[in-house]
A and B are shown apart, each in its own frame.
Chain A
Amino acid sequence: MRAIALAAALAVGCAAACAAQAQDAAKEIQRYRQMIAEGSPAELFELEGEALWKKPQGPKNVSLEKCDLGRGAGVLKGAYARLPRYFKDADRVMDLETRLLYCMVTLQGRSQEEATKRVFGSADRPSEMESLSAYIAAQSRGMKLDPGVSHPKEKQSVELGRALYFHRAGAWDFSCASCHGEEGKRIRMQDLPVLYKPASARPIIATWPAYRVSTSQFVTLQWRMNDCYRQMRAPEPNFGSETTVALIHFLTATAKGEPYRGPGSKR
């Protein structure tokens, strides 16, 4: 009897101490996030992206300045906050990176193969897509996320994204929801947000793309989808494929209404 009482006392003791410890950890993580958000090198990528946006390239030797991101040719202000959306000229839903790729092919006359050869860069050599994303996303700071959700193809894309989020597949039989489906979970320092719920999706989606401190890289949402599929041991999705765009579309539609605060900083 005494042993049971002691065990119970120990259990209660741990419950209090462990909760305090978890709270301390959460507070420290919060403090760390604040520190890395101040003076984020994301701004350096914005500068690089601006130069790339204006640089004539490709067989036609033209810049991307005439690229229509949904607000008219060359309009950047608020363009990112309204993506992904349906584009009539391409007859499909596109996110920022897919649209940029479309412009590289149609405006600059580059081949799909050449333009997608190196979409994800390294710390030593960031990719063109990453810097451009930083620059363009920054022009939507403070604006509410408002992706297209009214066109039939947009509705279809969001629904496909939702289905993919919960669809288990691959060698480990994982879905996005396997990790991002339960509240209060984290891997080491990384919270695992339940991204199909607006309350969790809002602060996350509003800070992508972002600078990743641990790898000194600027990362985009296309990269995030690609790398999540890699971690799930699923076949690699194509850059700008219907799958990745649908997932990004679903997540952004879930976060709709949140003021954009990126490009952010991630662990």
Chain B
Amino acid sequence: MPGPMKMRATLGQGFTDVRVLMTHPMETGQRKDSDGKLVPLHFIQNLTVKVNGKPVVEAQISQAVSRNPVFSFRLKGGAKGDKIEVSWLDNQGETNSTEAAVA
């Protein structure tokens, strides 16, 4: 089961700052474990952000991103109480999501 996610969305002057933390090993597929065997490629492939059910970001990210990534972005507009939903899908088919209201 994937580890926890944490999101914070704060309202600014005409924009919303969103920061999402994700637990993920983000394996590059190049690293060897202590037995000398390759650790299989395991990384977040797709990241989707929805605001009140409407998709606003569709990101395709690679294994170049570090372990336990933080994804931070700024949305135009936004209002207090807007529901922001972030979900990811990795190359092994695992998925996780979290949601938060703009504060």
Listed in ascending order, the chain A residues whose CB lies under 8 Å from chain B are 38-39, 41, 43-44, 47-48, 123-124, 216
Which residues on B sit within 8 Å (CB–CB) of A39?
19, 21, 70, 72
- Complex formed: what's the CA distance from A47 to B22 in Å? 12
Q: Is B67 an interface residue (CB 8 A)?
A: yes
Q: Nearest CB to that of B4 among chain A residues?
A: A47
Q: Is B91 an interface residue (CB 8 A)?
A: no
Which residues on B sit within 8 Å (CB–CB) of A43?
6, 21
Q: Nearest CB to that of A123 among chain B residues?
A: B67
- Structural contact, A216 and B4, CB atoms closer than 8 A: no
Q: Is B23 an interface residue (CB 8 A)?
A: yes
Looking at the assembled complex, report how far the CB atom of B32 sits from the nearest CB atom of chain A, in whole angstroms.
Answer: 13
Looking at the assembled complex, report how far the CB atom of B71 sits from the nearest CB atom of chain A, in whole angstroms.
Answer: 9
- Structural contact, A41 and B25, CB atoms closer than 8 A: no
Which residues on B sit within 8 Å (CB–CB) of A124?
25
Which residues on A sit within 8 Å (CB–CB) of B19?
38-39
- Structural contact, A48 and B67, CB atoms closer than 8 A: no
Q: Encode B44-70 as 1/0 by CB contact (under 8 A) with A.
A: 000000000000000000000011101
Q: Is B3 an interface residue (CB 8 A)?
A: yes
7 more A-B residue pairs beyond the given contacts A38-B19, A47-B6, A216-B66, with a C-beta to C-beta distance below 8 A: A39-B72, A44-B3, A44-B6, A44-B68, A47-B4, A123-B25, A123-B67
Looking at the assembled complex, report how far the CB atom of B35 sits from the nearest CB atom of chain A, in whole angstroms.
Answer: 13
- Complex formed: what's the CA distance from A123 to B21 in Å? 16
Which residues on B sit within 8 Å (CB–CB) of A48?
3-4
Q: Encode B1-45 as 1/0 by CB contact (under 8 A) with A.
A: 001111000000000000101110100000000000000000000
Which residues on B sit within 8 Å (CB–CB) of A41?
21, 23, 68, 70
- Structural contact, A44 and B67, CB atoms closer than 8 A: no
Which residues on A sit within 8 Å (CB–CB) of B25?
123-124
Which residues on A sit within 8 Å (CB–CB) of B72?
38-39
- Complex formed: what's the CA distance from A48 to B1 in Å? 13
Which residues on A sit within 8 Å (CB–CB) of B3?
44, 48
Which residues on B sit within 8 Å (CB–CB) of A216?
66-68
Which residues on A sit within 8 Å (CB–CB) of B66?
216
Looking at the assembled complex, report how far the CB atom of B36 sits from the nearest CB atom of chain A, in whole angstroms.
Answer: 16
Looking at the assembled complex, report how far the CB atom of A248 sits from the nearest CB atom of chain B, in whole angstroms.
Answer: 26
25 A–B contacts from the bound complex (CB under 8 Å) = A38-B70, A38-B72, A39-B19, A39-B21, A39-B70, A39-B72, A41-B21, A41-B23, A41-B68, A41-B70, A43-B6, A44-B4, A44-B5, A44-B6, A44-B21, A44-B23, A44-B68, A47-B4, A47-B6, A48-B3, A48-B4, A123-B25, A123-B67, A124-B25, A216-B68
* Top 6 closest pairs, chain A to chain B, by CB: A39-B70, A41-B68, A47-B4, A216-B67, A44-B23, A43-B6
Which residues on A sit within 8 Å (CB–CB) of B22?
44
- Scoring A38, A47, A123 by chain B CB atoms within 10 A of each residue's CB, the highest score goes to A47
- Complex formed: what's the CA distance from A47 to B6 in Å? 9
- Complex formed: what's the CA distance from A48 to B23 in Å? 10
Q: Nearest CB to that of A41 among chain B residues?
A: B68
- Complex formed: what's the CA distance from A50 to B6 in Å? 14
